[in-house]
Amino acid sequence: MRESIRDAEHLFRLVLLFAAGLLLFLLVRALLVPVGFGELGHFRSGAIDDNRGRPLRYAGRAACAECHDDAASELAAGRHARIGCESCHGPLAAHAADPDAAAAMLPEATPLCVRCHEANLARPAGHPQVEPREHADGSACADCHRPHLPAV
Ligand code: HEC
Ligand code: HEC
Ligand code: HEC
Ligand code: HEC
């Protein structure tokens, strides 16, 4: 009996080493994995509340239309109808909540137009594109196009 235990001694040392490794792994894991991880899936469940707690920056076009129905109906009449107001005007939740406290700046048209309409092979062929230098010859895009209703 004694003999056989001595023969297996190196195996006990190996098991002990594995057990120590496992313990270290569990300890480090307990320190590094944040509270709530895994409750709802492979992420920290508290992240939902963290994100929900952030202030909203975009109001959405329905809010804009309540006060700016002229702009909204002009936009709806042309091919920019599906573009959100804040895609061009930037985030304006503060302005929509209280227009007196937070004024809205008018965007400069030309850089905005060029961002979506400069000719680029990567764009779908059906998307209206121009070579700004040839097409506008240095004029501002808004000299000829109305941003909300762009057809000339
Ligand atoms: C509660 C009403 C209200 C809401 C909602 C609102 N606005 Fe306004 N907005 C105003 C008022 C009032 C002014 C200042 C008077 C004016 O020029 O019409 C203004 C001014 C502006 C101006 C500047 C106009 C100019 O000639 O200088 C822009 C651009 C604008 N709003 C865009 C938006 C957009 C985009 C939204 C949606 C995110 C929005 N507004 C939501 C009331 C509102
Ligand atoms: C394609 C980009 C674009 C979109 C989409 C857009 N706007 Fe504008 N908007 C502009 C630009 C550029 C101006 C400034 C025009 C100028 O300088 O004369 C402007 C001007 C305005 C003004 C000032 C008064 C006027 O009519 O010129 C208001 C108010 C306004 N926008 C509200 C809105 C609202 C509300 C929406 C959504 C329903 C919207 N805009 C969608 C680009 C856009
Ligand atoms: C966020 C991207 C975006 C911006 C910014 C934008 N456009 Fe457009 N524009 C579009 C899309 C998308 C279409 C085509 C929609 C469709 O397929 O019906 C379009 C269509 C057009 C058309 C074709 C109109 C027609 O009836 O044939 C013109 C002209 C135009 N835009 C000019 C402008 C000008 C000028 C500006 C700057 C004030 C501008 N666009 C800003 C996305 C944009
Ligand atoms: C001098 C007036 C003028 C200026 C400035 C101008 N455009 Fe145009 N644009 C036109 C006319 C006219 C058309 C319609 C006929 C055509 O397709 O050439 C047009 C058509 C377009 C179209 C539709 C092209 C298509 O294939 O359907 C786009 C997009 C456009 N312009 C964007 C712009 C942009 C972006 C700017 C500013 C860099 C700009 N335009 C400046 C007069 C102008």
CA of 81 to the centre of ligand 1 (A): 18
Closest ligand by atom to 143 CA? 4
CA distances from 136 to 77, 96, 132, 139 (A): 24, 34, 6, 5
CA of 94 to the centre of ligand 4 (A): 33
CA of 12 to the centre of ligand 2 (A): 77
Rounded to the nearest 5°, which phi and psi values hold at 102?
-130, 100
Spell out the per-residue pLDDT of the chain, length 152, in tens.
677 888 899 999 999 999 999 999 999 999 999 999 999 999 999 999 999 999 999 999 999 999 999 999 999 999 999 999 999 999 999 999 999 999 999 999 999 999 999 999 999 999 999 999 999 998 999 999 999 999 98
Q: Which atom of ligand 1 is nearest to the CA of 59?
A: 38
